[in-house]
Structure 1
Amino acid sequence: MKALSEGKEMVKLTDIAKKAEVSPSTVSRVLNGNTVVSEEKRRAVQYWVAKLGYKPNNVAQSLAGRRSFLLGLVMTDVSNPFFSEIAKSVLHHAYLQGYSVVLCNTDTNQDIERQQVSSLLQRQIDGVIIVPTSPDAPALKSLLSNHIPSVVITQKHDQFDSVSVDHFLGGEQVASHLISSANTHLAYIGSPLDEKFLGFKHRALQMGIAENCIKCIDFTYTHFNRERIDEQMKEIFQSSVIEGVQGIFALNDLVAIAAVNAAVEIGLRVPEDISIVGFDNTYLSMMHRPSISSVAQPIEEFGSRTIEILTRKIMALGDKTVEMVRLQSRIIVRRSSSREG
């Protein structure tokens, strides 16, 4: 297997092995998604693959194994900064493994989702990565019935390999932070069924907060529509539901930013009068003034683990085991919930 670098030199698999100080067979295993390789060696191989511009000879491999070296990435809303960051990570790690990626956006519409998955199947893709519109979406059933290696991301699913963040833990982290800052009347803006809220409420109760002091303001987020989200937050903050609340946990950064703006508009000081925390730790949370505290998700690990699992399943067609990877989150405290300084 050979590839051309930018300088037109032929880069061989053995060149990668020499630079990474591993055997050629180890390089081959890393490129094929085999997990029987130490993390240190895998990262070294991936570094030199990118550094030298090495790409496997996919034409020869596809002729031998009837593989297209095409993957489908189906997302609900690529305009959401969190999903665009996930997509970038997935594309990068797919490239390192010699794959091209077809990116699809569904706008959280099941009809569009079904059509796009059907189109991907016609293109004979090797595998699919999907953020499904719902756990029982027809598109998922199509992937199962066609035996397409697939990974669900950002969500858990009983029938699919999945890579997601522990939202329950994230909720617990936010509750601990808000309560440690003397906030005793709390609210979550999102669905009462969200794991984020369940973790948030669980930790708040553990820390002695009365149940009637933990609200859930039911809010459904579907698209990255700033104007619509701003309007909804204004309605919430101008109603009595927010009265007495000292600490707010929003389902994502976009909602948290809208909540901060709505709070300021009615004369509340952030964080002096009300603390607000988001989720996803997107660049928007850092750029906003005041900057938004947020729960960070390991974006690079999302991409690497997803591609690692998918390439392994592509190589081992017929493997029916379901792997569920739960990544760890961490809270990044910024001005919107920190009264210090």
Structure 2
Amino acid sequence: MKTPTVKDVAREAGVSTATVSRVLSGKEGVSEDKRLRVLAAIERLGYRPNAVARSLRMESTRTLGLVISNVTNPFFTEVARAVEDEAAREGYSLILGNADEDPAKEELYLNVLLQKQVDGILLSPARSDAPHLLKVVGGRVPVVFLDRSIDGAAGVPVVRADGRRAVDSLVEHLTGLGHRRLAIISGPREIISGRERLEAFLNAAGRRGIRIPDEYIKFGNFRRSSGLEAMRKLLALAEPPTAVFAANNLMALGALQALEEAGVRIPQEISFASFDDVPWFGLLKPPITAVAQPTRALGASAASLLIEMIRERKSTKGPEPMEAQLVIRGSCGPVREGVR
């Protein structure tokens, strides 16, 4: 059976194809009688507009692209859900790409999104120094960075949380419990959020007269396996730390596995905290102290900002960073008696 076309609808309704197009696009200048005849003809013929062709005519696909760095990270999972909800509320569909912390995979997804002619892109970069991203942010498609940004793209808005004050509160909490041997499982230096969390931790310790030696700084890649390996190395030191801060939730999960394997009790033998709170942190025994970002608010704000840029056809300044909060639970306790 032949698929009905705009010409078929026009012939059936006794109007021009231009009139049918005006009815389909919701434009004014069509009498009520003609509009009703066109709608009736569409119903009788079972006509369905070609979405791709219509998007080319209207210069819009009503589609957003979202490329996140790791879909298995609960933080990004919740962010993606918030983006999708806000996009749907505004009448946009969402195409999701998981870069898996791999710049090459990230570049591949970005090329696909551009080929799909998405109206805008939300991006959490896998690295802060990837050259392929500069080409994307300098193109015709609006871009908003989410959680992370890149070097050399100062004009691109960023929606993110500022965790420095919360990290400072964490260090204050730990030192108040008597801890002086503080360690961190940091994210990679190549990612801005990795650098920022490390600097915040070191600065907070320095303000309290604590110098963190190099052997107490272990670098991971924001994956569970790197947290496992880092914690094993910390526990193997001749003088292990009394408190450890993991710079994201997946590395925290690996670190907790290492502590379980070694039979090290939390918080009796070591205090532990994580950046990025997740629901199951509160269910563990003991529940985990964590820096909580306003995850859903970040996703919704980023999507709303991108849609505003699409509608206004111009770039805009990103909002001020949202504040992260320290959630104190039972995983941090007083330093053991006799330990300095």
Deviation string, structure 1 residues 238-295 (Cα, Å, up to 9, x no partner): 4216x24111111112222332332343343211221100011012322333221111
Partner of 1:329: 324
Among 119, 142, 148, which residue is 1:126 paired with? 119
Flag the structure with larger Rg: 2
Q: Which region of structure 1 is more displaced relative to structure 2, 178-187 or 165-174?
A: 165-174
Alpha-carbon displacement from aligned partner over 1:31-56 (angstroms, at most 9, x marks no partner): xxxxxxxxxxxxxxxxxxxxxxxxxx
Alpha-carbon separation, structure 1, partners of 2:214 and 2:170:
13
User: What is residue 47 of structure 2 aligned with on the other side?
Assistant: none
Kept in 2, the 8 Å contact 1:168–1:197? The answer is no
Q: How does 1:106-255 map to 2 (within 5 A)?
A: 106-157=99-150, 158-191=154-187, 193=189, 194-209=195-210, 211-212=211-212, 216-223=216-223, 226=224, 228-229=225-226, 231-233=228-230, 235-240=232-237, 243-255=239-251
Give 1:100 deviation, angstroms.
0.6
Match of 2:27 in 1: none
Query: Residues 110 and 212 (structure 1 numbering): CA distance in 2 closer, same or farther, change over 3 Å?
Result: closer
Q: Distance in 2 between matches of 1:103 and 1:133?
A: 15
Deviation at 1:305, TM superposition (A): 1.2
For 2:306, the aligned partner's letter is L
Kept in 2, the 8 Å contact 1:81–1:283? The answer is: no
1:262 partner SS: helix
TM-score if structure 2 supplies the norm length?
0.73
Rounded to whole Å, the distance in 2 between the matches of 1:255 and 1:89 is 23
Letter paired with 2:325: R
Q: How many residues align?
A: 276
Instruction: Name the SS for the 1:305 alignment partner.
Output: helix
With over 3 angstroms needed to count, the CA separation of the structure-2 counterparts of 1:116 and 1:214, relative to structure 1, is closer
Aligned pair partner of 2:290 in 290, 294, 302 = 294
Name the % identity: 29
Indicate if the aligned counterparts of 1:184 and 1:213 stay in contact, CA closer than 8 A. Answer: no
How much has 1:220 moved relative to structure 2? 2.1
CA drift of 1:84 comes to 0.6
Look up the match of 2:69.
Answer: 76
CA–CA separation in structure 1 for the residues paired with 2:212 and 2:296: 39
Q: Which runs of 5+ in 1 are unaligned?
A: 1-57
Q: CA deviation at 1:162?
A: 0.6
**Distance (whole Å) between structure 1 residues aligned to residue 89 and residue 333 of structure 2:** 40
Unaligned runs of 5+ in 2: 1-50, 190-194, 335-340
C-alpha distance in structure 1 between counterparts of 2:139 and 2:235, whole Å: 50
> Does the CA-based 8 Å contact 1:192-1:218 persist in structure 2?
no
Tell me by how many angstroms 1:114 deviates.
1.3
Letter of the 1:283 partner, please give it: P
Give the Cα–Cα distance (whole angstroms) in 1 for the partners of residues 243 and 75 of structure 2.
23
Q: CA deviation at 1:218?
A: 2.4
